[in-house]
Amino acid sequence: MKVTEVRIGNWVYTEKRHFIKVSSISNDFGIMCITHIPENNCFPIPLSRNIIQKCGFEEVGIYENVYHKDNIRVHFDKNCKEENEETDSVLFIIYGENDSAFSKEVLSLHELQNLYFALSGKELELECLI
């Protein structure tokens, strides 16, 4: 994972699968680090229905694969059925009242956090991942 992909406040995990919230980004002795961990030892957290719900997204009643928060909707691949399953499924973000403003494939939590901030101007708050 590259330092340029994350912002302070993003969540990533380490090679030992410990979830960490990025609190600093630095160049320690020529090594780019995310919260004092070398960038090559940090990995993106794949999105799942469980993680989306911890971010405050709620299921849209008539669709089992669509979640929403404010004006943002996340569409999971219909073939991904497991609630807590990590997935490489295609996810689309739609922002706007007419469902036509924006869509983008998003596969990891930090991408969702960054996109949510870019679209809403607010940080995506979430429960602890531990």
Can you give the residue ranges of every domain in the chain?
Answer: 3-43, 49-120
First to last CA, the chain: 21
Contacts of 28 (CB under 8 A, 6+ apart): 36
For position 16, what pLDDT does the model report? Answer: 81
Contacts of 109 (CB under 8 A, 6+ apart): 10, 11, 12, 44, 45, 46, 47, 51, 55
In tens, the pLDDT along 35-70 reads 788 888 899 999 888 888 899 999 888 877 888 888
Instruction: Specify whether the CB–CB gap between 7 and 105 falls below 8 A.
Output: no
Q: Which helix (H) or strand (E) holds 110?
A: helix 109-120
Q: What percent of the chain has pLDDT over 70?
A: 81
Q: Which of 69, 64, 58, 79 is nearest to 113 (CA)?
A: 69
CA 77 to chain centre: 16
